[in-house]
Structure 1
Amino acid sequence: MFIKKDTYGVGTGRLRKLRVLSAIIVGCCVLFINTAGVAANVSANTDSEKKPPEPIAAGEVSAALLAEVETGRVVYEYNSEEKLPAAGLTRLAAMVSVCEGFDEGRLKPGDAVSVSEKAAGIGGTTAFLKAGEQMDAETMLLAAVMINAGDATHSLALAAAGSESAAVQGINARMAEIGVETDFSEICGAGEKLSASELAKIGAALTASESYRKFGTKFYEKIEHNTGAGATELANPNKLVKQYSGCIGVGTGSSTEAGYCGVFAAKRGNTAFIAVVLGAKTSGTRFDCGSALLDYGFASFRSVEINKKGDLFGQVAVNGSMRRSIGAVAESNVTLLVSVSDTAYSLNAELAECLEAPITTGDKIGRLIVTDSKGVVLADVALIADGNAEKAVFADYLKLISTEWIKKV
């Protein structure tokens, strides 16, 4: 297990452990903690003898993975790091850039988007767009999200970036930011290989997009063309959108080389999972395995909020300042992904005995540490100063002495 250890550049002093919460029973649980952007790197660690039955039988797929969306915790995996053919799922990388382009205002719903010769010539699943055709960006996004239409995705990515080279560069850069190693040479990434782990990260980025979520659960729609051609019917190929309770996307793809592949996201209550299936023998097996993975997640885990950003976990004395102490607060929300395999955990704050001024709001002054019932560290989160403690100068002490003298007179 790898836990990021923060280095505190503020103050000195011997660390003391303040136990603020211990042996909390969460209905038989082992946990994972998320800090919504704060460094807390945790790997799945479950006692094999307590593990539920495997959700996928051996030989059904080439690779599979189940991860909790918010924390990224992997709760099941099979061959998840091997890069494999992913058929049309490679288009999801470009869709991340497109949807975030809408979120950030680089693309607007009413923008007229033109279809290039290259976009119109893309094979596989398409919205039957013709070269030279124009369509409003929102309608094109509907096709891109619902059916993973290559012509729509290519056209939108091109419109957002201004050129294909800029679009490809942006896609590769965005993938690197979320931990996906790509070297796409064209927008839709035809022929590229991706691992199940990478596709889970792409799926999580998509489900975080408001523009994606707007259309991700639609099952059947029609779009009109301005070319005189008839309307194109869009039927979402992801059957789980209609068949699986809480499904929110993401996409499917298939080819002779890749087999049947899918990335599936579902949310129930406060818990959301991403399931990835690569190399299934049949379309039915793909959906069965996706459902089995999600069932495994929801049956075995749930998310529990432990504290909110800014919650106070103790006071630390300050030397050299007119302020005598400073509060240590959580840098972000803390959420646990709990399972039905253990009974207790402890939540502890490690704080310095004393800090030396000056201290600035947001300085890291301690750690919030979560351990399991055996004392194994499961997460390590920063505690930060809730205010400033300026270094006192001679005038401050003179004022203090004068004030105390006046009180005694």
Structure 2
Amino acid sequence: MKKRSMVQRITSLLLAMLCAFCMQTAFAEPENAAVDLSRAKSAAVAEASSLSIVLAKEADAKLDVAGLARLPVLLYVCESIDAGIFAPTATVTISEAAAAVRGPTAFVEPYERISAEALLKAAVMILAGDAIQALAEACAGTSGAAIAAVNARLSSLSIEAECMSLSGEGTRLSANDLLKLGGALAKSGTFCAYSANYMDEIVHEKGNRTELVNPNRLIRNTTGCFGIATGSSAEAGYCGLFGVRRAETAYLCVVTGAPDSAARFSMAQEMIEYCFTAYKATALARAGEVLVEAMPVRGGTLDTVDLVAGTDAVLLLRQGETYERGLSLPEILTAPLPANRAVGKAYFTGPDGTVVAEIDLFPKSDVSAATLWEHVRRVFVYWLHA
């Protein structure tokens, strides 16, 4: 009996350990296990508008990212053109410093005069360092002013990195930094006009031509790829930032330090395809969209006011998951109500009840406080119709 009891105890212990292991396996986060990230120094993939991370490895590590270090300068250039600060129809004179930049180049010469549009093609399609620097100098007036503007933009994106030269040398970025830059570039009309181009050419002042071939292989073999950039060096390995949009869903993917070009592209493609298979992006609200109708107002020139979303909001859900929306608002608002002051929040909860997103709610229009005369007029109108 004692021997049987001992056997039973050992058997029970083994079964308990097996059950514990199975439970741990069943409820562990599956994301990183779904794609082999071991071949890269860092990697990350996120929904493009919210930058909600799906897969990540060493995403905060500041690394040498080869030519991708030029992206902050390229972002400054594209946003300057978007804002009308500099015209793509302008003619740019190439400085000696820009012409001397190494790496992928547009093969421009010192003092050559060339259209900004030609330089943009080279800058966006192949991250041509000479084109990017020449454009940045033209946008800001001087190299120093351009560097200051780039650093200000990095700060506004909460990227803790410093641009020390317009060539990108010395700038170390994390995968999360690159996702933020990719998100901003994806919103630039100037950038998107050229980012998915596979082949083009530019014509120089003397009539010679430079053929541009986009090194991003995903443009040709991944449905919906819209760029963004690749780079490589002996120290950094093979790096890439990729964007893919299908229907209403878009993802940004970063790979740094891959051992070779094929590994960089295959890993990025695996990460992106996994996201489209396992997740869906759901638009919760668009900036300015009415989320609450006819909210009561006390003491105002209006009795009610609609409330609108202050920002876009996108929620990343596993396929088949749902969400619920709730409101955090007083029962009645009190005038005056400026349209630029939030009066409450809409919040969204996931399947487990956790709040996964919040949006500030704003009055659709200003509501002034009612004057004494307006109060008297309302009483009179009410009396007439009573």
Corresponding residue to 2:254 among 231, 256, 276: 276
Corresponding residue to 1:67 among 15, 31, 46: 46
- Consecutive unaligned residues of structure 2, counting only runs of 5 or more, are 1-25
Verify: 1:156 aligned to 2:135, yes or no: yes
Which moved further from structure 2: 73-82 or 175-184? 175-184
Distance in 1 separating the partners of 2:316 and 2:65: 29
Question: Paired residue for 2:222?
Answer: 244
Question: Paired residue for 2:264?
Answer: 286
Distance in 2 separating the partners of 1:333 and 1:68: 13
Seen in structure 2, the aligned counterparts of structure 1 residues 324 and 156 have a Cα distance that, compared at 3 Å, is: closer
CA contact (8 A) 2:37 2:57 kept: no
Seen in structure 2, the aligned counterparts of structure 1 residues 112 and 369 have a Cα distance that, compared at 3 Å, is: same
Question: Paired residue for 2:235?
Answer: 257
Question: Paired residue for 1:111?
Answer: 90
**Which amino acid in the other structure matches residue 212 of structure 2?**
L
Question: Paired residue for 2:121?
Answer: 142
* Alignment map for 1:74-223 (pairs within 5 Å): 74-223=53-202
Shift in Å at residue 108 of structure 1?
1.7
Distance in 2 separating the partners of 1:116 and 1:401: 73
Shift in Å at residue 101 of structure 1?
1.9
More relative contact order in 1 or in 2 (CA 8 Å, sep 6+)? 1
Identity of aligned residues (%): 33
Q: Secondary structure at the match of 1:160?
A: helix
Shift in Å at residue 220 of structure 1?
1.4
Distance in 1 separating the partners of 2:244 and 2:383: 68
1:266-322 residue CA offsets vs partner (Å, 9 max, x unmatched): 111111111100100111111111111111221122222344533242544433346
Seen in structure 2, the aligned counterparts of structure 1 residues 251 and 396 have a Cα distance that, compared at 3 Å, is: closer
Seen in structure 2, the aligned counterparts of structure 1 residues 198 and 326 have a Cα distance that, compared at 3 Å, is: same
Seen in structure 2, the aligned counterparts of structure 1 residues 388 and 53 have a Cα distance that, compared at 3 Å, is: closer
Seen in structure 2, the aligned counterparts of structure 1 residues 106 and 357 have a Cα distance that, compared at 3 Å, is: closer
- Consecutive unaligned residues of structure 1, counting only runs of 5 or more, are 1-46
Shift in Å at residue 172 of structure 1?
0.8
Q: Secondary structure at the match of 1:215?
A: coil
What is the aligned length? Answer: 360
Seen in structure 2, the aligned counterparts of structure 1 residues 222 and 368 have a Cα distance that, compared at 3 Å, is: same
* Alignment map for 1:388-399 (pairs within 5 Å): 388-399=366-377
Verify: 1:335 aligned to 2:314, yes or no: yes
CA contact (8 A) 1:112 1:137 kept: yes
Verify: 1:320 aligned to 2:320, yes or no: no
Verify: 1:345 aligned to 2:323, yes or no: yes
Seen in structure 2, the aligned counterparts of structure 1 residues 402 and 297 have a Cα distance that, compared at 3 Å, is: closer
The structure with the largest alpha-carbon Rg is 2
Shift in Å at residue 359 of structure 1?
2.8
Question: Paired residue for 1:32?
Answer: none
Which moved further from structure 2: 151-160 or 110-119? 110-119
**Which amino acid in the other structure matches residue 336 of structure 1?**
L
Seen in structure 2, the aligned counterparts of structure 1 residues 89 and 312 have a Cα distance that, compared at 3 Å, is: closer
CA contact (8 A) 1:81 1:195 kept: yes
CA contact (8 A) 1:313 1:330 kept: no
Which moved further from structure 2: 265-274 or 301-310? 301-310
CA contact (8 A) 1:305 1:335 kept: yes
Distance in 2 separating the partners of 1:149 and 1:163: 19
CA contact (8 A) 1:316 1:351 kept: no
- CA RMSD after TM alignment: 2.3
Seen in structure 2, the aligned counterparts of structure 1 residues 275 and 343 have a Cα distance that, compared at 3 Å, is: closer
TM-score normalised by L of structure 2: 0.86
